[in-house]
């Protein structure tokens, strides 16, 4: 069974602030590799869209993201929130960890109005794991498609 933490809360965010946040999955099994899926939901998308570079993806604020390890499976907008779903490209081995990103970088050139627009931002992360062996799946997408 998985564990969860409530995460971090930051007050008085200033331009160029670095907010540590390290969504990490630990495979506590001693024998079974696992396919991993993580979803990140960011609210206040309207406020964020006004401050990230034009054409940039909101996930650009995720510092330490290793594109070689993770694949963006989907990006879904709902209201003023955006959910990114990622798959770990390779099965997570027993006793190993996988971190989606290491923190959130606030842009250095935001003004007071832009800072106010993102002041109540929430970044929520959830993770799912499914056994690697016995599914007949060759990719995490295939594995999760079998179970939803």
Predicted confidence (pLDDT) per residue in 49-83, tens digit: 878 765 556 677 788 888 899 999 999 999 989 99
Dihedral (CA of 15, 49, 102, 3) sign: positive
**How far, in Å, CA of 93 to CA of 47, rounded?**
39
Residue-wise pLDDT tens digits, 111-137? 888 888 888 888 899 999 999 999 889
User: Which pLDDT belongs to residue 53?
Assistant: 66
> Nearest Cα to 77, choosing from 43, 117, 119, 54?
43
Please give the share of the chain, as a percent, with pLDDT higher than 90. Answer: 47
pLDDT tier for residue 143 given thresholds of 50, 70 and 90: very high
pLDDT of 138 reads 92
Pick the closest to residue 59 from 89, 82, 29 (CA basis): 82
CB atoms closer than 10 angstroms to residue 74: 11
The model's pTM: 0.87
Q: What pLDDT score does 41 carry?
A: 93
d(CA 27, CA 92): 7
Q: Kind and range of the H or E element at 77?
A: strand 70-78
Tell how strand 18-20 and strand 62-63 pair up: unpaired
pLDDT in tens, 15-29: 888 888 889 999 999
């Amino acid at each position: 069974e998985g564990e969860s933490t409530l995460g971090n809360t930051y007050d008085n965010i200033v331009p160029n602030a670095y907010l540590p946040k390290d969504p990490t999955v630990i495979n506590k099994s001693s024998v079974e590799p696992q396919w991993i899926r993580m979803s990140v939901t960011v609210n206040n998308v309207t406020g964020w869209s006004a401050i990230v570079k034009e054409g940039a993806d909101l996930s650009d604020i995720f510092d330490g993201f290793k594109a070689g390890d993770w694949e963006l499976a989907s990006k879904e907008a709902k209201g003023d929130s955006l959910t990114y779903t990622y798959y770990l490209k390779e099965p997570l081995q027993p006793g190993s960890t996988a971190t989606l990103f290491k923190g959130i970088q606030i842009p250095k050139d935001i003004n007071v109005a832009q800072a106010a627009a993102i002041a109540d931002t929430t970044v929520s992360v959830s993770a799912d794991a499914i056994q690697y062996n016995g599914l007949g799946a060759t990719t995490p997408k295939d594995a999760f498609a079998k179970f939803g």
